[in-house]
Amino acid sequence: MVLLHKAMYDLRNLIIQDFKSVDEHNSALFKIVSKLKLCGEDITDKDMLEKTYSTFHTSNVLLQQQYREKGFTTYANLISCLLLAKQNNELLMRTGQLRPPGTNPLPEAHAAVEDKKESNHVQSDSQHGRGRGKWHGRSVRG
């Protein structure tokens, strides 16, 4: 009887926000459910789903409604979805920390200027670029 009362108390006071992770909440819920089943209480997936939904923080009412509307029939499916959402959120947070939105680096100021070594222009060493042109400063007599 003592074990039953303690497990019922723990179940009533179990709140998902009291845990650092979905895994910790899941583990605590299964410990309580195991104790209740040991005492002869029948806890169904529907009971565990309702308990989890009802313990969402009040600021997450919309999120709670979205999960309810998905129509999960097993607690395992809900937890899988919550774990996936948590992983996606962590990935987004890490990506955001690498480079915050809108901080794409600007292109280099001289990136459009070609390096002379990479140019396709062929130069001859003879007269190109020396003197005053073809006539080497001589005037044209006509």
SS (H, E, C) 76-100: HHHHHHHHHHHHHHHHHHHHHHHCC
Q: Per residue in 64-100, pLDDT tens?
A: 888 889 999 999 999 898 888 888 877 777 776 666 5
The predicted structure's pLDDT at residue 5:
92
Q: What is the pTM of this model?
A: 0.56
Instruction: For residues 13-29, give the mean pLDDT.
Output: 87
pLDDT band at 34 (very low <50, low <70, confident <90, very high): very high
Which residue carries 């899941």 as its tokens?
26
Rounded to the nearest 5 percent, the helix, strand and coil shares of the chain are: 55, 0, 45
pLDDT band at 17 (very low <50, low <70, confident <90, very high): confident
The predicted structure's pLDDT at residue 28:
93
Q: How far apart are CA 59 and CA 79, in angstroms?
A: 20
Q: Per residue in 119-137, pLDDT tens?
A: 555 555 555 555 555 555 5
